[in-house]
Amino acid sequence: MARVCIAIPAFNPDGALAAVVRALRGAGFDSLVVVDDGSDTSSRQVFAEIEGTCTVLRHAVNLGKGRALKTALNACLVAFPDAAGVVTADADGQHAPEDIARVAQELSRGRSALVLGSRTFDARVPLRSRVGNVLTRWMFRLLVGRTACDTQTGLRGIPRAAVPELLRVPGERYEYEMNVLLATKALSLAIVEIPIRTIYVDGNRSSHFNPFLDSMRIWFQLLRFGMSSALTALVDYLVFWIVLRGSGVLVALVTARIVASVANFAMNRQLVFRARGRIVPALLKYWTLVAVFGTVAYFSITVLQQRTGMNVLAAKALVEGLLFLASFSVQRDFIFSTAADPAGEAG
């Protein structure tokens, strides 16, 4: 098997970390990087036990799991340039060494794919973990158009070619792992899932995941999709209302579409889909979408107004709501779906 690095972020770990490191060394892994993310003195003995058997890097203060992962990924790139990739694992014993090895084996095959060690979320899993994963999995599928059974797993195999790009992905804490999943689309990384054992030690009490604060960080990253559309809808609605006061529905609709679409294109390209391909082809496709959906919206609003007597503003809100998911899906899969274009961003 090709060399694969193992990266483990650790904050106040117990003896489980030392046990995992020993098992991985015994299995032949000699490229291990552990990041002490500002742990207190209670874990001093644990780190002393593993020093000499792996590379231990330290943060002076706790900077968060995302930052610790980036520190480890960067170290792996620098110290092991011949590695096929990096497997990230948690320090609390929830990832069995044999499962880490299986993810490494899949990664060493050389595919352009993010390998996820996916758990089975049955009744043995703590309720907060089951509920959180179901909601995030559903949202991820809806908004990104990809399926991941375990969106919160920390056991992941990252191809070496993708590591530099993922080092640029924003996020310092638990939201970083969700951002990595979101980035797979733009990087043209497939998602491969390997079933692993579901291990929760003492009801998962050792986890440093804050159910409220860290979930808010993760969900905020997902909800930026909706925020862009909401801001665009507000601009569109205001312009439509202003122009409607002095002209007909068609003029108001076209004017509102032009103004709002310019803002929407910029937000979706830069903030939502993080597309980095050529602007002109994407803009042409985007304007085609605007024209088609604008035509559908115009006739739909007119029919509702004339056939049912519905207020024109209410009719617009209804039609735009129905077109929202269709518009998002087209933008996600056909307009902003490509990875970075070698020719650069210029049109």
Q: At what angle do helices 249-267 and 279-308 cross, to 10 degrees?
A: 140
Q: Is 28 exposed, middle or buried (0-12, 13-18, 19+ CB in 10 A)?
A: exposed
Of all residues in the chain, the percent with pLDDT exceeding 70 is: 84
Half-sphere exposure of 342 (CA within 13 A, CB side): 0
How would you class 178 by CB atoms within 10 Å of its CB: exposed for 0-12, middle for 13-18, buried for 19 or more? buried
261: Cβ contacts below 8 Å, ≥ 6 apart: 232, 286, 287, 290
Q: Mean pLDDT score of the chain, rounded to an integer?
A: 84
User: CA-CA distance, 73 to 34, in Å (whole number)?
Assistant: 10
- What pLDDT is stored for residue 10 in this prediction? 96
Select the more confidently predicted residue: 110 or 223: 110
As a whole number, mean pLDDT of residues 91-109 equals 94
pLDDT of residue 232: 85
Task: Provide the token pair at 156.
Answer: 């992941």
pTM as predicted? 0.69
pLDDT of 45-89, one tens digit each? 999 999 989 999 999 999 999 999 999 999 999 999 999 999 999
CA angle 166, 168, 174 (to 5 degrees): 70
Residue 243 tokens, joined: 């122009």
Tell me the pLDDT tens digit for each residue of 153-209. Answer: 999 999 999 999 999 988 888 888 988 988 888 788 999 999 998 876 654 554 555
Tell me the pairing of strands 113-118 and 156-159.
antiparallel
